[in-house]
Amino acid sequence: MKQKKILLLGGSEAQLISITKAKELGYYTVLCDYLPDNPGQYIADSFHLVSTTDKDAVLAIAEKENIEGIVAYSSDPAAPTAAYVANVMGLHGMDYNVVRHFCEKHLFREFLIKNNFNVPKSIEVKVPYDVELIDYSHLQFPIIVKPTDSSGSKGITVLENPSNLASALKYAQEYSRNQTLIIEEFIVRDHPHVIEAEIFAINGKVVSWGIINSIRDLRSNPLLPSAYSYPIDIADERKVIVKSEVSRLVATTGKTSGAFNIEMIIDKHNRLFFLDAGPRNGGNMLPEFISMISGKDIVEATLRVAMGDVSEIDVELDGESRGYWGLGVLHSDKAGRFNGIAYSQLAKQSLIRENIQKELGQDVNPFERCNDLIGLNFCRFNSKDDMDKVMCNMYQSMRVKLM
């Protein structure tokens, strides 16, 4: 029997699970990555050194390899490529134009407006621009300046006044491939943490509700998740709003099957605003985190759906049951060399999986971008109080030691 081929876009440490799981399922694994030292190449059956954002180059490889499915596992920049290849080759996948509207922030705002979702006031800035000619008079400060096509909070600045607008735009431009930037009003959330939904849909209906607290660290970077916890810490009436609006967002994509990663906040008027939404699995090993909570295999489901197999997929999670869980993003607010992790007693007792991505003595960067992390730790707790003590106080509970 001929072995089915699947193309995987990205072979980083966090993406290895997609390759190993595909091999467990009996698929022949084809990998594309632009980094010559990516670890995935050593376990994939076939490797091509090519950028995962180069749609036509990836398509040529896909056609040559005669693949039957394609996955951009935990990769926002590669999601449009996966959709493009799937559409051209007639494989299972979301419509390319829909994916583009999700992955490019200015198009996403247009998409939200068209479908009657709440959207902050914003303006689009095309490069080249003259900062003196940008009219932001209708925006209220604070504002947020960002590239429209980056992920992991790269190139993002929050401004309390216009004095640093020029430098914020320049910083955003450094991380923009399409050279389109956005300035928008910064919505203040009326709850402790950003709400993140690591969900899975079958035929347009959400069946796995991985709704989690995306905890931010004001000491290092308030724009990046420093930890996650489950279940979500919001009022019941707001849980209803979250499920209703997320379901409606997923429904706009049609009878879609697959993973979505969505960030959102609710303001004091109970208005929900989507910050970002990706038609793919989230980063920071979130699919594995939700799989631990639910006892179901989100990674396997992602791969099977990409291969056109939606039969008997069971990934159900109601978003409320299954206990108390945490995922710690190990990081430092200072530069130095890695010297291990100092755990509190409660964190040590609750730790069920440790994923350290640095060797002793390796350089550590301040937590400015998502790839500045040192590792990821999975925890299970006996109570909400224990969960909050550990996950909301990472500097005390899982302190990164530097030489």
Each residue's pLDDT tens digit, 86-97? 999 999 999 999
Domain extents for the chain?
5-91, 121-185, 194-402
Does the pLDDT value for residue 128 go beyond 80? Answer: yes
Interval 137-148: pLDDT, tens: 999 999 999 998
What's the pLDDT at 220? 84
**Rounded mean pLDDT of the chain?**
95
**Cβ neighbour number for residue 253 with a 10 Å cutoff:** 19
Rounded Cα–Cα distance for residues 136 and 7 (Å): 44
Rounded Cα–Cα distance for residues 85 and 104 (Å): 18
> Nearest to residue 26, comparing CAs of 313, 316, 291, 309?
309
Percent of the chain's residues with pLDDT above 90: 88
The model scores a pTM over 0.85: yes
Rounded Cα–Cα distance for residues 348 and 366 (Å): 24
What's the pLDDT at 243? 98
CATH top-level class for 121-185?
alpha beta
Interval 254-306: pLDDT, tens: 989 999 999 999 999 999 999 999 999 999 999 999 999 999 999 999 999 99
What's the pLDDT at 152? 64
User: Residues 317-320: contacts with CB within 8 Å, 24+ apart?
Assistant: 317/207, 317/208, 317/209, 317/210, 317/290, 317/293, 318/209, 319/209, 319/210, 319/211, 319/231, 319/232, 319/239, 319/243, 320/231, 320/239
What's the pLDDT at 311? 86
What's the pLDDT at 371? 87
CATH top-level class for 194-402?
alpha beta
Instruction: Say which CATH topology domain 5-91 has.
Output: Rossmann fold (3.40.50)
Tokens representing 144 are 């947020």
Does the pLDDT value for residue 376 go beyond 90? Answer: yes
- pLDDT (average), residues 210-223: 91
